[in-house]
Amino acid sequence: MSFKEVPFAGTVPSPKRENEGMVTGNWRTKRPVLDKDKCTDCLICWISCPDACIDQSTTGLAFNLKYCKGCGICAEVCPSNAITNVPELDYAD
Amino acid sequence: MLEDIKTLRKAPREEYYVPGHRTCAGCGPALQYRLVAKAAGANTIFIGPTGCMYVANTSYGCGPWAVPWIHAQITNGGAVGSGIEAAYKALIRKHKTDAEFPNVIVMAGDGGSSDIGIQALSGAFYRGHNLLFICYDNESYANTGIQTSPTTPYGAWTTFTPAGPVSPEGKKLFPKDLPKIMSHGHPELKYLATASIAFPVDLMNKVRRGLNAQGPSFLYIHAPCPKGWSFPSEKTVSIAKLAVDTGMFQLYEMTEDRRFKVTYRPKELKPVEEYLKLQGRFKHLRPEHIEKLQNFAQRRMQEVGIEITLLSS
Ligand SMILES: Cc1ncc(C[n+]2csc(CCOP(=O)(O)OP(=O)(O)O)c2C)c(N)n1
Ligand code: SF4
Ligand code: SF4
Ligand code: SF4
């Protein structure tokens, strides 16, 4: 038997845009909320999110709440105070 | 050749370390992983020795990498990286693949590089493999519950260095200086730098320069860990910035003539106490311990050529 016939153990496909096997949005106790009027589009929050949960869309920045863990880094690093952490219990969803 | 990223706006939008991983909220090592993957791009293979960046990323049979990733033992990231690099070279030489030679990146914790993995790291650099070895330094064996590692600072609490009557300062030893260990003992070394998650554009450019240098290249990335260092998750980037602004972490590159080139000089150096006081792991320290850490930072800065003008508190 050649090595080519040995099945590759523990191999899984790579995700493309998100890893649906580990949805983390339900960890969040505080939700980042953007005040578009204050945002200068400097992108410091975008580059500082460990979970790649800030998307640059055509209408401005958008948080990916399916995965955002609510760490608060984006609000902390924003030089314009454009992001507020709002308790999740304030939301119905 | 990977081009230098001039500004944040020019940073690639593509993500290769995608949402969906079990790292703690605000994890510094996760942020540096995202930045490294972004800078390296699609033609990359990651090697992940055991540690948080393996375990917390691969829970339940899945992982967040949009590029190939393989697990290595905590001891042998350098060896697995060497094997993949050598195999690719052989396949290309024998025309058995038309694939372009990939970026081979080992992503090891400070334990997996400065301690239990140091022989495989040193061997790979001695033999001169074309790979980029990254040590993300969260200053402990984090994944097994925050035990001291050789890069844990003097005075830090860990589960193996608790502060108490016998050892009021917690950890008594001063940390190993891994980039300096790597910088002068490996003749094949092509590039070496330190980086911080608080300086993301600089970090991404150092990844690219390390890859362009056709390795072996070494990158040492300061990556605060909210769980192990006991600080609130939103402070990760601010604490990384303070480490640089107090001189506790120094940003530099090593040029071809084997001299250190400082890549960022704090305009006004802050007292180390400002960095320490935000972290629970240092809360037991007395003034005499803090003074030792102040002297430590000054020594490290001097070694790489940062002149010291301390701003008094
Ligand atoms: C040979 C061996 N010894 C011990 C362990 C247990 N272990 C798993 S993760 C880990 C901590 C790794 O620390 P580090 O490399 O600093 O990465 P971090 O977890 O801090 O990200 C240890 C000790 C192991 N997996 N293999
Ligand atoms: S709260 Fe944390 S995880 Fe959520 S978007 Fe902000 S930085 Fe990302
Ligand atoms: S950091 Fe603040 S100002 Fe900058 S893009 Fe983000 S929300 Fe806007
Ligand atoms: S323990 Fe530290 S390094 Fe490990 S996942 Fe949590 S924050 Fe990240």
- Can you give the pLDDT at residue A58? 85
Q: In Å, how far from its chain's centre is CA B109? A: 7
Least confident range from A50-54, A58-62, B150-154, B157-161: namely A58-62
Q: Indicate yes or no: CB of A51 within 8 angstroms of CB of B30.
A: yes
The enclosing domain of B246 has a CATH number of 3.40.50.970
* Domain carrying residue A75: 25-90
What's the pLDDT tens digit per position in B12-69? Answer: 999 999 999 999 999 999 999 999 999 999 999 999 999 999 999 998 889 999 999 9
Domain total in chain B: 1
- Can you give the pLDDT at residue B311? 63
Cβ neighbours around B36 below 10 Å, total: 27
d(CA B61, CA A16): 16
ipTM of the complex: 0.95
Residue A59 lies in a domain: yes
Q: How far is A35 from chain B (nearest CA, A)?
A: 19
Closest-CA residue to B36 (of B177, B223, B240, B182): B223
d(CA A77, CA A30): 16
Contact yes or no for B28/B110 (Cβ under 8 A): no
Q: How far apart are the first and last CA of chain A?
A: 56
Question: Residue-wise over B130-145: b if at least 16 C-beta within 10 A, else e?
Answer: bbbbbbbbbbbbbbee
Contact yes or no for B301/B295 (Cβ under 8 A): no
Residue nearest ligand 3's atom 8 by CA: A39
Closest-CA residue to B225 (of B59, B46, B77, B23): B23
Q: List the single best residue of A4, A11, A14 to mutate versus B (max B Cβ within 10 A).
A: A14
Residue nearest ligand 1's atom 3 by CA: B74
Put residue B26 in one of left, alpha, beta given phi > 0 → left and psi -120 to 50 → alpha: left
Domain total in chain A: 1
* Domain carrying residue B54: 8-304
Residue A12 lies in a domain: no
Residue A23 confidence class, pLDDT cut points 50, 70, 90? very high
d(CA B125, CA B215): 8
d(CA A31, CA B278): 24
Amino acid at B48: G
Low-confidence ranges of chain B (pLDDT < 70): 310-313
- B18: CB partners within 8 A, 6+ apart: A15, A16, A17, A18, A19, A52, B64, B65, B66
Q: From the CA of A43, which ligand is nearest?
A: 3
Residue A76 lies in a domain: yes
Q: Give the relative orientation of helices B236-245 and B28-40 as an angle to the nearest 10 degrees.
A: 80
The enclosing domain of A40 has a CATH number of 3.30.70.20
Pull the structure tokens for residue B169. 């300062």
Residue B310 lies in a domain: no
Q: Please report the DSSP string for B130-182 in residue order.
A: S-EEEEEE-SSBTTTT-B--TTSPTT---TTS--SSS-TTS--SPPP-HHHHH
- B84: CB partners within 8 A, 6+ apart: B45, B47, B70, B104, B131
Question: Does A69 lie at the interface with B, CB-CB under 8 angstroms?
Answer: yes
Residues 236-255 of B with CB under 8 A from A: 236-238
Residue B309 lies in a domain: no
Residue B313 lies in a domain: no
- Can you give the pLDDT at residue B60? 85
Q: In Å, how far from its chain's centre is CA B42? A: 21
How many Å is the maximal CA-CA distance in chain B? Answer: 66
Residue B75 lies in a domain: yes
Residue B209 lies in a domain: yes
Q: List the single best residue of B62, B138, B196, B197 to mutate versus A (max A Cβ within 10 A).
A: B62
Q: Please report the DSSP string for B80-106 in residue order.
A: HHHHHHHHHHHHHHTTS--PPPPEEEE
d(CA B36, CA B109): 14
Task: Using the atom order of ligand 3, give the atom closest to the CA of residue A54.
Answer: 6
Closest-CA residue to A9 (of B52, B71, B197, B196): B71
